[in-house]
Chain A
Amino acid sequence: MSQTPVSTDVVETAQLDPTKMDFSAEGSAAPPTSLTKIAVRKFVSNPFAIFGAIILAIFVVMCAFAPLFTHFKPAAIDMMNASVPPGTDGHLLGTDEIGRDVFARLLYGGRVSLIVGFCVAFCAVVLGTLIGAVAGYFGGWVDMVLMRLVDVMNSIPALFLNILVLSLFGSGFWLMITILSLTSWMGVARLVRGTFLQLREMQYVQAARAIGVSNWSIITKHLIRNATAPIIVNATLQIGNAILTESALSYLGLGVQPPQTSWGLMLNNAQEFMLTNPMEAVYPGLCILLVVLSINFIGDSLRDAIDPRTKVKISRRRLKKWRNRFSKSGI
């Protein structure tokens, strides 16, 4: 990354700026000098990013290591202890109408929601990048055909298409991941295509072409690496969208099927038993809200962090420390 003309520019201007001067000789408090380091510094100094990262980490750890946090089985029916209030007999959040532990179901259901979210975002971004890269790099009729495909996919309301496929082909975990990925790659494809259209005219690309680098290598080694930042931001936001769509489809009964569960399916269940177990509808929705909110925080902070126009926020304490060193060093 640091070899591109863009980043050296930034480093040079950063060194002219007195608050960003290089203190590397003085050790740990050195201001960032590379584009990546600046981005990391910006990201870490953003409270929203930290909040999002912590919340998301808590959810991921608790769902991944669910058996460590609860000894109840998510699908174990216990009619003797149906609808008990929170806190009875070790049921942290009580039980549902047929005695399944709500806390355990939240943890195991969260696994499904999170895995779907991450998998769909990953697949959609890979697919979108590939299609966008081919369209943007080759242009001409390839671009025409692929962009018409994007138009067609965008013209079918995605929710309808998801419902259609899942209801006709039978709902299931993997089919859901597949169809959600197939209906959410278009944004990334457009983005990558746009970036590639600009980048392919750059001199370093022409130089690479002139010395006989293959198209594939130019795409993967030169172009995609320079388009990484916006792709990552987009991928982050895709995770949140995928989790929301998964919950919606599961709520309609089209996602994972019992005895498996997910947050959306729990909401479906909860709506039927609103009168007896009012709180049961609150927890899964709250989990979705928190996870998607923290992912959106992370995504927005990433966008700010990689945008060279936003400034590094330096805490007053650190600024004071730097000033002290500045005066001591006798410059």
Chain B
Amino acid sequence: MTEYLIRRAVQSVLVLFLVSVISFALMHAAPGGPLMVMLPKGGSQQAILAQEKNAGLLDPMPIQYLHWLGQLLHGNLGYTYKNHVPVGQILWPTVGNTLILMGVAWVLSLLIAIPWGIYNSTRTYGISDNISTVLAYLGFAMPAFWFGILLQEFLSLDLNWFPLSDMYSMNKQGNIGDLIWHLILPVCVLVLVFLASYLKYSRASMLEVLHMDYVRTARAKGAPEKHVIYRHALRNALIPIITVLGLDLPNLVSGAALTENVFNWPGMGRLFVEMAFAREYAVLMAITMLGAVFVVIGNLLADILYAIVDPRVQLGKKGGTAA
């Protein structure tokens, strides 16, 4: 187990390193340097050159990369070109905002999807099961941001029930009630997206388990149905669900980009789009790397959780799932 974890950790670091090289190269291969954007129009060629030299932008790319990497290892994410603000200062608050939004949506959708999926698996093709199938098909086929726009249009513009966008109303910063008020619409959108896959997974894995011999045995020895479902079936059905949850972890960070843009939520995804247009390479690098870190941790966590909840799985001996 320990050996396996060490091997996976080394692999993860390697993957992260490659991700950073690729995204760094990509950004620096883009036509038009960052200073072209930020210097006032009519600035002479010499002025641009001088500024670029100052910012170390004329060094060969590998040097620039090593410089960036060295700074990163010292915990310095760099500075924005415009106004020279430390990247961390604008990044971390948005990460928090995204986690609030996604965390609420994620927990809520789990609380809905797992019990509902269990219920549906015991009454397949009933009304409730059909409703959830329709929901799942809609969730997979509908552009989530469009659903967001529709909610804005009908629930907040026409009916005026919910605020249109943003995280807080004017001069109500930090007010929890106001925050919840603003959370409702974006959370609705995200819950639909999550529900689509979670409902499918929880129903499918329950159905698979319900056909197992030990479930039949439990029924045969006269265990009450509740006992069979929750003690015998659910515990085993949760194993694949937990893996999916681990693999979904990165979505908590990157998945909300569009919803955040629709609802003007000051999160990481919106920051990324904003900064992509402004060509703030340092911020873009930081967010890309953060996203990659979450993916790698999610994969690792999925494997470890899998081994913890299922004693039959022995990490390392099987060769691992992603390795």
A residues near B, CB below 8 A? 148, 151-152, 154-157, 159-161, 163-165, 167-170, 240, 244, 247-248, 251-252, 264, 267, 270-271, 274-275, 278, 281-282, 284-285, 288-289, 292-293, 296
- Chain B 3-34 near chain A by CB (<8 Å), digits 1 or 0: 00000000100111011001100110011000
Q: Are A281 and B14 in contact (CB under 8 A)?
A: no
Q: Are B19 and A156 in contact (CB under 8 A)?
A: yes
- Give min CB distance, B292 to chain A, whole Å: 5
Contacts of B288 in A (CB 8 A): 156-157, 160-161, 164
Q: Are B143 and A288 in contact (CB under 8 A)?
A: yes
Q: Are A274 and B143 in contact (CB under 8 A)?
A: no
Q: Are B143 and A160 in contact (CB under 8 A)?
A: no
Q: Are B257 and A152 in contact (CB under 8 A)?
A: no
Q: Are B146 and A159 in contact (CB under 8 A)?
A: no
Q: Which of A154, A165, A240, A293 has the most CB of B within 10 A?
A: A154
- Give min CB distance, B201 to chain A, whole Å: 16
Q: Let me know if B254 is at the binding interface, CB within 8 A.
A: yes
Q: Let me know if B131 is at the binding interface, CB within 8 A.
A: no
Contacts of B143 in A (CB 8 A): 244, 247-248, 251, 264, 267, 285, 288-289
Task: Provide a sorted-by-A list of 18 A–B residue pairs whose CB atoms are within 8 angstroms.
Answer: A148-B15, A152-B18, A155-B19, A155-B296, A156-B288, A157-B291, A160-B254, A161-B288, A169-B30, A251-B258, A252-B261, A252-B273, A267-B145, A267-B146, A274-B149, A285-B149, A288-B143, A289-B138
- Give min CB distance, A314 to chain B, whole Å: 20
Q: Are A168 and B30 in contact (CB under 8 A)?
A: yes
Q: Let me know if B152 is at the binding interface, CB within 8 A.
A: yes
- How long is the Cα–Cα vector from A270 to B152 in the complex, in angstroms? 12
- Give min CB distance, B163 to chain A, whole Å: 14
Q: Are A157 and B276 in contact (CB under 8 A)?
A: no
Q: Which of B27, B142, B145, B253 has the most CB of A within 10 A?
A: B145
Q: Are B23 and A164 in contact (CB under 8 A)?
A: yes
- Chain B 192-209 near chain A by CB (<8 Å), digits 1 or 0: 000000000000000000
* Interface of A: prevailing SS: helix
Considering only CB atoms, which chain A residue lies closest to B275 in the complex?
A: A167
Contacts of B284 in A (CB 8 A): 164
- Give min CB distance, B243 to chain A, whole Å: 15
Q: Let me know if B117 is at the binding interface, CB within 8 A.
A: no
Q: Let me know if B153 is at the binding interface, CB within 8 A.
A: yes
- Give min CB distance, B314 to chain A, whole Å: 22
- Give min CB distance, B46 to chain A, whole Å: 25
Of A165, A167, A271, A289, the contact of B141 (CB 8 Å cutoff): A289
- How long is the Cα–Cα vector from A160 to B147 in the complex, in angstroms? 21
- Give min CB distance, A297 to chain B, whole Å: 8
Q: Are B254 and A285 in contact (CB under 8 A)?
A: no
- How long is the Cα–Cα vector from A161 to B145 in the complex, in angstroms? 19
- How long is the Cα–Cα vector from A157 to B15 in the complex, in angstroms? 13
Given A160-B288, A289-B141, does the pair A168, B26 have CB atoms closer than 8 Å?
yes
Q: Are B254 and A151 in contact (CB under 8 A)?
A: no
| B interface residue count range (under 10 / 10 to 19 / 20 to 34 / 35 or more) | 35 or more
Q: Are B157 and A275 in contact (CB under 8 A)?
A: yes
Considering only CB atoms, which chain A residue lies closest to B146 in the complex?
A: A285
Contacts of B22 in A (CB 8 A): 152, 156
Considering only residues 125-160 of chain B, those with a C-beta below 8 Å from chain A are: 137-138, 140-143, 145-147, 149-150, 152-153, 157-158
Q: Are A240 and B19 in contact (CB under 8 A)?
A: no
Given A148-B14, A152-B22, A289-B141, does the pair A281, B261 have CB atoms closer than 8 Å?
no
Q: Let me know if B306 is at the binding interface, CB within 8 A.
A: no
Q: Are A164 and B145 in contact (CB under 8 A)?
A: no
**What 9 A-B pairs are tightest by C-beta distance, nearest first?**
A285-B146, A157-B254, A168-B30, A167-B276, A293-B141, A292-B141, A157-B291, A155-B295, A155-B292
Q: Which of A161, A168, A240, A247 has the most CB of B within 10 A?
A: A168
Contacts of B258 in A (CB 8 A): 159, 248, 251-252
Q: Which of B16, B141, B158 has the most CB of A within 10 A?
A: B141
Considering only CB atoms, which chain B residue lies closest to A157 in the complex?
A: B254
Q: Are A160 and B19 in contact (CB under 8 A)?
A: no
- How long is the Cα–Cα vector from A252 to B259 in the complex, in angstroms? 11
Q: Let me know if B262 is at the binding interface, CB within 8 A.
A: yes
- How long is the Cα–Cα vector from A159 to B276 in the complex, in angstroms? 12
- How long is the Cα–Cα vector from A270 to B140 in the complex, in angstroms? 23
- Give min CB distance, B290 to chain A, whole Å: 10
Contacts of B150 in A (CB 8 A): 281-282, 285
Q: Let me know if B272 is at the binding interface, CB within 8 A.
A: yes
Given A152-B18, A163-B272, A164-B284, does the pair A278, B153 have CB atoms closer than 8 Å?
yes
- How long is the Cα–Cα vector from A117 to B67 in the complex, in angstroms? 40
Contacts of A159 in B (CB 8 A): 254, 257-258
Contacts of B254 in A (CB 8 A): 157, 159-160
- Give min CB distance, B5 to chain A, whole Å: 17
Q: Are B26 and A274 in contact (CB under 8 A)?
A: no
Considering only residues 12-65 of chain B, those with a C-beta below 8 Å from chain A are: 14-16, 18-19, 22-23, 26-27, 30-31
Of A244, A281, A293, the contact of B137 (CB 8 Å cutoff): A293
